[in-house]
Each structure stands twice: as structure tokens, then as C-alpha cells.
Amino acid sequence: MDKVARLRQRAKELLEKQEVVGVLGYRASSRPGISQVAFITKTEEVDRLIFDATCSQNLANYLLKVKDKGKVAVVARGCDSRSIVVLLQEKQIERGQVYILGVGCEGVIVQGEKSVSCRSCQYPNPVIYDEMLGEEVHFEPEKVEDEFDRLTPDERWQILSAEVARCIRCYACRQVCPNCYCPVCFVDASMPALVGKTHNVSDNMVFHIMRALHMAGRCVECGACHRACPMGIDLMRFNRQVAKIVRERFGLVAGAKPDEMPALTVFKPEDPQEFIR
Amino acid sequence: MKVFLKNEDLKKLLARFVQEGRLFAPVRRCGYSGWDRVSSVDEVVLSREQAILQGEEVNTREPAKIFVFPRSETLFEFEGEEAVETGEIPELVVFGLRPCDGRAMAFLERFFVGNGPEDPRVRQRREKVTLIGVACNSPADSCFCTAVGGGPHENKGLDVLLREVAGGFLGEAVTSKGEELLTGFPEATAQQDAEAEKLKANAEATLALKIDLNRLKAALDNGFASPIWERLTLECVNCGACTFLCPTCHCFDVFDETVRGRKRRSRIWDSCQFTLYSQHASGHNPRLNPAARYRNRVMDKFKYTVDMLGEVSCVGCGRCVRVCPAGIDIRVAVAEILKEAAQDGR
């Protein structure tokens, strides 16, 4: 039985036995190339569920929207499951609230190409789950040769400036991110306003840098924001860099291990702390 | 009168504006084309059809509204108690906008200028920009201009409409500004005219969707409290991509700020999809629910502007369909609303 058939069958059973109030997964949209999130609550609707390379969104984000309805089942790939781990660690959800239908993922395809975040994915399989739908997936992640570190600060600034200059501040990146859940985002604070709201490079850069820093040790590099950006901003550039710094300095990977807290939420005596000397 | 511009003629015409540093045209970025100031006429892909064949989207990612209603602009600066107008509005020429965007420009003009107190910035910007539209011979699957009253070869809102035919373009002046631009070019032949008409018919034939706008309006008139909005919006993440890239969305926020000692009042695009948009000073928010925010967008396109100006404000460009990170399609929403209304006997 393939993954999708198994998914539909299990969704049906979970709903029938009333173990969950709904199943969070994907369904086909009106267009090829991108699927839509589905919250299935009726057994007769389980056949709408799909799982393929068009499943672009991170379902952990939608988990926050439906969590108050009761226990829900959620389809989770490696990245989604890591986001769930971060949400658990940050006490946004409880483990008992979710039933995780794990699924191995070969990567999201965008316009005929593997999404940039998926190419170097180290976690195609969920790190936590209640059951696996089908076999685990194994592939050799592409090594992303990143020239960024070899550039001078000025050169880096130029690259980032060119990227954020296109930003229209629609906040799609924030809205699709499961770990951007603040009730009032820093850019929306108005008394006092913390960030300039115009679209000049300076204001845009403040937004993007602050976003990246808030994501430090929490971003699981799922690439949902990168794919969501209507202006094609290379958001993975920011995410990758932040994750790399956290990995190198704290030896941690966001959401990879449920018992390993996010880097910036715990203090360890051996943490690098030259900056407070 | 319809004139014919050979490709070289058009290039020469555009080159003049490039030289003056005031030509904007679709320039290929990362998988889409966006509006950029062109520094060499060779950057301009004259044939939008060719661009599509090379993998570009049918239309620019950002709508042409940015030329009359930019993402952010300083309205004036303060010197002491005095407000001082700032920023000379430049004369621009925009080449390559689509008829849907032209129609949207007409809507914005009507909204900002011909509807009660006029917005001087928008009026001045529209006066100072020349819009050279290019008709669509190959609409995309996300396009639906004919369903909302437009057409792939429509000239509304433009100064000049160009229709691509073999070897060049059929030029049609829409305004006096456009007439000036097209003086001196030879009249198009009957054969060229027939070719353009055929391409128009072909393009229209690919746009199959029909929407009964009157019935939709009636459904929305009675649909405010419908449970359908909840159902339609689970997927919506309430970002502003659809509204910001919509060629007719026109909401803005105004604020004062001091930058390096200079005080100014600016305006930026705002979106009804944001919670902050409807936040009252008291803290109360009548549209806290995401479904209410999505409802506002659909209502605005197909009901509110009909009530206010007598026309729908969706031009069927399909941008919101193409860019939605959640895969939401406004055509599906419309179909569902009509279906629900029919079931309820509304």
C-alpha cells in the first residue's frame, strides 16, 4: 500500500474511532504545482488527502490554528516534525494534542526544480511520530557550497541589500512560519513603533535581520518562507546562515532532538560567551 | 487610427525614453519579471509572447499600480509648523503593462481622483506617466479578465495599446498623450488588423471562465453572515501577498516619522488581511477573525466597490492566484459562494 492510500485509510480510522477531531494534511488545489492545506473532519472526505512534491506548506503552522478544536492528527515530514518539536519545546502545543502521521519526504518541487531548502535537507524523515506512513526515505543531501562566508562584510551587505530591496512587506514569510507565532509581531508594534514601515532598503533590512535573529536556533530550514515569498527573495540565505552559526557555536540543530532545548533558551556553562566578557 | 510599428521602430521609440532615463519595462528577475528602470533598450524584451516562451510569467509580478500608488512615499515634510511638499514626481514611460493592469489603472484613477476629494499625488503621477500597454495573445491558466468585464486586447486605462502581430505591433492611441506618441507611423494594413483580431479571438477563446457578476453581487449582499467564509479560509495565512500584488487594492496607512532630524509624513500600502489594519485605538478589533478578513477582500472586489463606484474591482489578472503561498484561488471562492447562494435559494 502506498503512502497516500495508507494516509487515507489511517485518517478514516482515526476519525471513525474518534481518536482525533480532524486530520491536517494536504489536498490538491485548483492549479498544478501547489497543493493546499486540508483539515479533514469527515470520514467521507479522507480521499481528498494527498501527499506529493507539491506539498509546499509547513503543517505545523496550521496546527496552531486548529489546536483548540481538540486532538488532531497531522501529516509530518522531517521539517514539519522538527517544527512540531520546537513548538513542543516552547510550550505552544502539548504532545498529547497531536497524533503525528510521519512520512518520508523526497523534497518539494517548485517550477520543476527541487526547492532550495530541500536540496540540502538532512532530515527527510520525521524526528518524532506516532506512526510512519510507509518507508523512510533516504537520499544523499546536496552539499550547498556557500561562498557567503568567504565574502567581505561589504560584499555580503550588498547581496543581502539587493535581496531585501525587493521586499514588499507582505509578511508572507512570517505568516507561513510555524515558529513565528508571537501575538504581536515586532513589526506590528505601534506604541512605540519599533521598526520603520516603509519599503526602503534600510527598513526592509531591519525587518529581515530581526526576523532572522528571532529564528536563531528555532528555524528548522523547512523553506516554507522561501517558497511563500512572492518577490522571490532568497530567504534561505538568511535562514541557512543563522542555522549554521547556531550549529557551529552551540552544536545544536533546531528541533532535531526533542530533549535538546533550542540554543538560545538554555544556558550551559560551556556556551561560547566571549561577547559578555 | 491604427498604426503599424515595426519592431525596429518600437525599439527606436523606446530607446529615446531609455536615453532620458525614464523607461520602465518588465525585466526578468528570479523566475518572474518585475518593473525596473531600463538602462539599455536591449534589456527590453519587445515581444511579451517571446518572453512567455522563454518561461516568464504572462505578466509582471508587481502590478503597474506602483507607478501611481507606490509601495511607500513621503507625502510631505515638516519644517517647524509648515508642511512642505517634497519629491518632484518624475515623468515616466511604462512599456509592457497588460490590459488587465490598464483597466486597474482606470479603476485607481476613478477611486483616487474621480471619487470625492481627489488624491493629488495619484493624479499627478498618472498625469506624468505614459502607459504603453501590450495586448495578451497567450493568457495564462490563472488569467480570467473576460470573466470580470475586461479582455486580453482591451485598451481601457492605457495611453497606447500595442497588439503584437508578425514583424511588429499594431498601435492604437487611447489618449491624446498616446496620439502624440504614435504620430508619424504608417497606417496598419487591413491584413494586419485582421491578424490582430484573430489573435484576440484566439486569446479570448482560452479564457473560458464566466462569472455572473450580478448574481455574485446578490449573493454577497446577503452573504455577510454565511458560514462559507470560515470554510474558505482555513488555508489562508493572512499575509498581504494577494492584496499588495493586486493591481486595484488601494488601502494605505499614513504615519509620521523623524529620520535624521527631518520630520515627514509618509504613506505605505496596507492590507485588510493584517490584524493591525482594523485595530481600533481602543484595542477592539472588529475583524480579528481571519475569516472576516478574507471575507473583506472578496466583498471589496465584488460588492463594496460595486456599491461605491458601480464596478467590480477585480480585473482578473490572476496575480493573487499565482502568488498565494497557500494555493488559494479566488475563482474557487467565487464559485463556492455562488453555489452556496443557489442552494440557499438566494
Phi then psi dihedrals of residue B83, to 5 deg: -95, 130
Cα–Cα distances (Å) from A247 to A144, A216, B191, in that order, read 15, 10, 67
In the predicted structure, residue A95 carries a pLDDT above the cut 60: yes
Residue type, B54: Q
Query: Is B32 in Cβ contact with A170 (below 8 Å)?
Result: no
Query: Is A174 in Cβ contact with B29 (below 8 Å)?
Result: no
Q: For the residues A74-100, what does the mean pLDDT come to?
A: 97
Asked whether the beta carbons of B34 and B51 are under 8 A apart, the reply is no
A34 and A126 in a single domain? The answer is yes
Tens digits of per-residue pLDDT, B155-179? 999 999 999 999 999 999 999 999 9
Of A133, A155, A190, the one marking the end of a domain is A133
Which of B29, B235, B245, B272 would you mutate first to test chain A, the one with the most A CBs within 10 A? B235
Residues 6+ apart with CB under 8 A from A237: A148, A159, A160, A163
Tens digits of per-residue pLDDT, B221-264? 999 999 999 988 889 999 999 999 999 999 999 988 888 888 99
Query: Which run of H or E residues covers position A12?
Result: helix A3-16
Percent of chain B's residues with pLDDT above 90: 82
ipTM field: 0.93
Residues 6+ apart with CB under 8 A from B332: A30
Nearest CA in chain A to B141: A31
Compute and round to an integer the Cα radius of gyration of chain A.
19
> Could you say which DSSP state residue A193 is in?
B
In the predicted structure, residue A45 carries a pLDDT above the cut 60: yes
Q: For B326, which of A36, A198, A232 is closest by C-beta distance? A: A36
A105 and A42 in a single domain? The answer is yes
In a domain, A270, yes or no: no
In a domain, A276, yes or no: no
A10 and A113 in a single domain? The answer is yes
What's the pTM? 0.94
Asked whether the beta carbons of A139 and B207 are under 8 A apart, the reply is no
Which of left, alpha, beta for A218 (phi over 0: left; psi -120 to 50: alpha)? alpha
Q: E strands within A103-245?
A: 109-110, 113-114, 131-132
A167 and A242 in a single domain? The answer is yes
Q: Hey, is the C-beta of B257 within 8 angstroms of any chain A C-beta?
A: yes
Tens digits of per-residue pLDDT, B255-306? 888 888 889 999 999 999 999 999 998 989 999 888 999 999 999 999 999 9
Residue A171's CB is within 10 A of a number of other CB atoms, namely 27
Query: Is A37 in Cβ contact with B234 (below 8 Å)?
Result: yes
Q: For residue B71, which residues of chain A lie inside 8 Å, CB to CB?
A: 168-169, 198-199
A38 and A97 in a single domain? The answer is yes
Q: Which of B202, B168, B205, B203 is nearest to B188 (CA)?
A: B168
Cα–Cα distances (Å) from A96 to A20, A41, B81, in that order, read 11, 19, 61
A221 and A257 in a single domain? The answer is yes
Nearest CA in chain A to B272: A170
In the predicted structure, residue A227 carries a pLDDT above the cut 80: yes
Q: Cell 485588510 maps to which residue?
A: B272
In three-state secondary structure terms, A10 is helix
Tens digits of per-residue pLDDT, B184-224? 999 999 999 999 999 999 999 999 999 999 999 999 999 99
What total number of domains does chain A contain?
Answer: 2
A154 and A227 in a single domain? The answer is yes
Of A68, A99, A133, the one marking the end of a domain is A133
Q: For residue B266, which residues of chain A lie inside 8 Å, CB to CB?
A: 198
A158 and A105 in a single domain? The answer is no
Cell of B50: 517571446
A154 and A238 in a single domain? The answer is yes
In the predicted structure, residue A277 carries a pLDDT above the cut 60: no
Q: Cell 477592539 maps to which residue?
A: B284
Of A77, A98, A133, the one marking the end of a domain is A133
A75 and A169 in a single domain? The answer is no
Q: For residue A174, which residues of chain B lie inside 8 Å, CB to CB?
A: 239
**Cα of A65 to nearest chain B Cα, Å:** 8
Predicted pLDDT of residue B207: 96
Q: For the residues A61-66, what does the mean pLDDT come to?
A: 93
Q: For the residues B333-345, what does the mean pLDDT come to?
A: 91
Q: Which of A64, A71, A65 is nearest to A20 (CA)?
A: A71
In three-state secondary structure terms, A26 is strand
Query: Which run of H or E residues covers position B121?
Result: helix B120-128
Domain of residue A21, residue span:
3-133
A19 and A107 in a single domain? The answer is yes
